[in-house]
Structures are given as structure tokens and as C-alpha cells.
């Protein structure tokens, strides 16, 4: 809650380790938090869907 920078929490919709609600909680807790779920990714969306992950990060960064 004390982070003073924008935060992007990306979750894999098929993760069996963390539910997508964790990313939602992180985003809701951070003053400038945002949450995105990649529905077809598991626990490692950056490895499982790198194009979608990178596009999500690029859109987030472009909006800063």
C-alpha cells in the first residue's frame, strides 16, 4: 500500500499455484495498481505466452 510507483500484476488464468484473485488483490492494494489476467496462461505467463505478456507490459508502459 506504500508503493509510490505504478504496479502491474499479471496473472495466468490457468495457474494452479495462484488464483487470479491474487493479482486483483495486489492491484487493489497498490495506490496505482492494475491487474491483468491472461486466461490461457498458467503460473508463468511470461514463458507460456510471451507475445501476449510482452504486449500487455508494453501497453502498460506506454500509458505511464
Helices (H) and strands (E) in the chain, counts: 3, 2
pLDDT tens for 13-61 read 999 998 778 999 999 999 999 999 999 999 999 999 999 999 999 999 9
Task: Give the CA distances from residue 30 to residues 15, 18, 33, 58, in Å, rounded to whole numbers and listed in that order.
Answer: 22, 18, 5, 20
Output the pLDDT for position 1. 82
Measured CA to CA, the distance from residue 4 to residue 39 in angstroms comes to 28
Output the pLDDT for position 49. 96
Output the pLDDT for position 37. 95
pTM for this predicted structure: 0.86
Amino acid at each position: 500500500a506504500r508503493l509510490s510507483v505504478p504496479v502491474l500484476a499479471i496473472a495466468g488464468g490457468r495457474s494452479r499455484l495462484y488464483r487470479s484473485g491474487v493479482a486483483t488483490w495486489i492491484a487493489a492494494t497498490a495506490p496505482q495498481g492494475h491487474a491483468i489476467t491472461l486466461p490461457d496462461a498458467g503460473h508463468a505467463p511470461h514463458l507460456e505466452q510471451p507475445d501476449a505478456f510482452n504486449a500487455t507490459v508494453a501497453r502498460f508502459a506506454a500509458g505511464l
